[in-house]
Amino acid sequence: MILAADPAPKLSDYGFFTDAGARTPAEGVAPYDLVNALFSDNAAKHRLVYVPKGAAATYNDTDVFDFPVGSVLIKTFAFAPDMRQPRVGERYIETRLLIHKADGWAAYPYIWNAEQTEATYAAVGGKQTIDTITAEGQPLQIAYTIPNRNQCKECHQSDRVLQPIGPKARNLNHVGPAGVDQIADWTRRGILTGVPADHPLAELPRAFDASLPLEGRARAYLDINCAHCHNATGSASNSGLYLGWGEQDPTGWGIHKRPTAAGRGSGELSFVIEPGLPDASILTYRMASKEAGVMMPELGRTVIDDRGVALIREWVASLPPAPGK
């Protein structure tokens, strides 16, 4: 089923869960989470990993782990009427699968029915109106979009090859839903092999932990929300704007960098980041938009991540202005 050429018509066909509502994982399917999650319209996200018995992913210091053929990454997007109590009245909207087939990864979206008993493959994705209250207590109506298969690949690619984004050392390295150090847990379960003992593992700071240094929080936020496209091999490689955690060149991550192909997304501003001046920075301008042709990310959200915008604004404001300004 997992390695079949075509996607199964129903999520339940794969047997990843023992119940119709996919709340109880089957044996070999392990929940996991990331230090920081991509903002997806305030959706709650439930991530699970399946690696075939007897095989394991290979650890990598900086990139996505090398998963064996037959591995599956499962991610369910859910909303509750009040996200301040995310498990109360929670409803599953969609479940996305990344399946490592013999000839490469495949991405399949599944949309849940209103009764929460079944999720059906939807190549062209779909739209749903969702009414909720955010974690900050704000009522919000969301024109939520489930991506189509091509849109999966627009973010999930490197050099035009579809691949996962989340399972990297720096995103996994914390105490996960199992209640223990996640990378050690994956090794213990046989999911992961090759974790080095001779040097510390990368670890991203929690972006919204105000007790941590601002620079690391902001760069961590950009890494998980932007860098899958904004890197030298991603969808936005042509922009020259590289927002990954490992980008060393300040012009590369936007300091006094001129827009490449932003059009009116530049907001009539001159630089991606004008240090000290978030109102003069294209980065914060585009994050604060929800208009097609201006907003960034351009895929994967329809509302603004107010917390994220505030974080990046605070960080830009803290950057020392250029001499003479």
Partner 1 sequence: MALRSLTAVSVLVLMAACSPKVETPAGPVAIMPGPEAAAQLQKALIEAKPGDTVLIGEGTFDFTDGLSLDVDNVKVQGAGQGKTILSFKGQTGAGEGLLITSDKVTVSDFTMQDSKGDGIKSKGSDTISFKNLKVEWTGGPLPTNGAYGVYPVESKNVLIDGVTVSGASDAGIYVGQSDNIIVRNSRAEYNVAGIEIENSSNADVYDNVATHNAGGILVFDLPNLKVMGGHSTRVFRNKIVENDTQNFAPPGNIVANVPTGTGLMLMANKNVHVFENTFDKNKTAHVMVVSYSYEYKDETYNPLPRDFVIRDNTYGEGGNDPQGRLAPLAPALGGALPPIVWDGVTRYGDKSEDIRIVVREKPEVGFVSLGLGSTPIDLAKAKPSPTRQPDADIAEPPAIVLPQDGGV
Binding site for partner 1 (CB under 8 A): 111, 113-115, 117-118, 120-124, 143, 145, 148-151, 153-154, 160, 232, 235, 237-240, 251-252, 256-270, 282, 291-293, 298-299, 302
Nearer to partner 1, 222 or 282 (CB): 282
CB of 19 to partner 1, least distance (A): 12
Question: CA 282: distance to chain centroid?
Answer: 22
Give residues with Cβ within 8 angstroms of 318, minimum separation 6.
Answer: 214, 215, 276
Give residues with Cβ within 8 angstroms of 26, minimum separation 6.
Answer: 15, 16, 17, 18
A 10 A CB-CB count for 36 gives 22
Handedness of CA 281, 284, 289, 294 (dihedral sign): positive
Q: What is the DSSP string of 85-119?
A: STTTT-EEEEEEEEEEETTEEEEEEEEE-TTSS-E
Nearer to partner 1, 45 or 149 (CB): 149
Handedness of CA 292, 296, 300, 304 (dihedral sign): negative
Handedness of CA 307, 41, 223, 46 (dihedral sign): positive
Nearer to partner 1, 120 or 134 (CB): 120
Q: What is the DSSP string of 233-290?
A: TSTTGGG-----TT---TTTTTBTPPPSS-GGGGTT-SBSB-TT-GGGBHHHHHHT--
Nearer to partner 1, 103 or 268 (CB): 268
| Residue indicated by tokens 């909303």 | 79
Give the phi and the psi of residue 127 in degrees, each rounded to 5.
-135, 145
CB of 253 to partner 1, least distance (A): 11
* Longest CA pairwise span in the chain (Å): 64
CB of 245 to partner 1, least distance (A): 19
Nearer to partner 1, 176 or 275 (CB): 275
Nearer to partner 1, 265 or 308 (CB): 265
Query: Quick one: which of 250, 317, 249 has its CA closest to 281?
Result: 317
Nearer to partner 1, 205 or 267 (CB): 267
CB of 85 to partner 1, least distance (A): 27
Angle between helices 306-318 and 214-225 (to 10 degrees): 130
Distance in angstroms (rounded) separating the CA atoms of residues 68 and 89: 36
CB of 248 to partner 1, least distance (A): 13
Distance in angstroms (rounded) separating the CA atoms of residues 90 and 77: 10
Nearer to partner 1, 193 or 302 (CB): 302
CB of 307 to partner 1, least distance (A): 22
Nearer to partner 1, 104 or 194 (CB): 104
CB of 167 to partner 1, least distance (A): 23
CB of 67 to partner 1, least distance (A): 22
CB of 177 to partner 1, least distance (A): 29
